[in-house]
Structure 1
Amino acid sequence: MQLTNFTDFGLRALIFLASLPKDELTSITIVTETFDVSRNHMVKIINKLGQEGYVKTVRGKNGGICLGKPAHQIIIGDVIRSIEPLQVVNCAPEFCHITSACRLKSALAKAKQAFLDELDNYSIQDMLTDNSELLILLQRV
């Protein structure tokens, strides 16, 4: 299963924000530069993560972004469920004429569930714990 770039960069942004000292604000520009992604794309990602409660946005002169909840409470499987379009294949009868007899859709549904069940075992904090190399790459040591 391949995640969209939207979800990929969303997870990276959450990891970056989790690497900051508690409640420290940063800017979308800094996150954008860290991962070399377009600012417009990152604005959309941060907006969606904010709507889901994973990111807190503060407007104004001293504004910025930070995690919306503690990193250990941000479960990766939940993040993916909330921002990733999880339809593996299009089984609509108008799209596929074998849908009524197809066993593939059931197998793919089970595989998708196993994928998410595994990611439910990890939080954003787990990505940082005892990972000094990552903190160095994020320039947070």
Structure 2
Amino acid sequence: MRLTKQTDFALRTLMYLAKQAQGRRVFAQEIAEAYDMPINHLTKIVHKLSLLGYINTYRGR
């Protein structure tokens, strides 16, 4: 099965978050470094996942 990069990054993001302790806040930069993703691209994906209700986001520093 072939996935787009956007889908691949979204799934990796969800898997990374699923492995974390419940309630632990994770920075986008942390996910980007873990999977060697461009932070700008990841930010767009995280925003979309938030709009779709898959994750909750909070504005960082």
Provide the TM-score with structure 2 as the length reference.
Answer: 0.92
Provide the identity percentage: 39
Q: State the superposition RMSD in angstroms.
A: 1.1
Deviation track 1:16-71 (CA, whole Å, cap 9, x = no partner) reads 0011100110100000000001000000110110011111101244xxxxxxxxxx
For 1:9 and 1:32, locate their aligned partners in 2 and report how far apart those are by CA, in whole Å: 9
Higher helix share: 2
Residues 1-141 of structure 1: pairs in structure 2 closer than 5 A:
1-61=1-61
Residue identity in the other structure for 1:44: K
For 2:55 and 2:46, locate their aligned partners in 1 and report how far apart those are by CA, in whole Å: 7
For 1:28 and 1:60, locate their aligned partners in 2 and report how far apart those are by CA, in whole Å: 9
Give the number of the structure whose alpha-carbon radius of gyration is greater: 1
Provide the TM-score with structure 1 as the length reference.
Answer: 0.42
